[in-house]
Amino acid sequence: MSEKTDLAEQYHNNGYGCGQAVLASFASDYGLSEDLALKISTGFGSGMGRMCEVCGALTGAFMVIGLKYGKVKTDGSKYGSNTETTYHKVAELAKNFEVKHGSIYCRDLIGHDLSNDEERAEVVRQGLFKSTCGVCILDAVKLLEEYL
């Protein structure tokens, strides 16, 4: 494992969500404080606030791509080289994640509706946050390391 995967695993094992674990592992590389990275990414866990949409580990990875390649200045147009680079890297990372896991959606990856208290309790009981989400976090970090 790499330094970044170790760090992401540490964050996750210490109670941080999937998006938090990924973003915080790269934050200092881009001048983002740990506290701000953790705050920004809090709502992305469990597929965006328990809506089971795009995997939080992936959204954390997308934010890291934005930190490196994102557009800061504009000539007034919506698109430009930074935007195109960012979109391309996000799409490629997502495609490769989907090839490996069969989906980019939390609901498919974890197999439960996390907005439902009983189903979420079952996920906790089965240890799926640790096992399934842990693998998704590590894979998102590994893909990021390839794409950055």
Domain map of the chain by residue range? 3-147
Q: Between these two residues, 73 and 140, which has the higher pLDDT value?
A: 140
CA gap 94, 80 in Å, rounded:
21
Q: Which residues pair with 54 in a beta bridge?
A: 105
Under 8 Å between Cβ of 48 and 63: no
Q: What is the pLDDT of residue 30?
A: 98
Burial of 135 (0-12, 13-18, 19+ CB in 10 A): middle
Distance between CA atoms of residues 101 and 95, nearest Å? 10
125-138 pLDDT, tens digit each: 999 999 999 999 99
pLDDT band at 80 (very low <50, low <70, confident <90, very high): confident
The three-state secondary structure class of 43 is helix
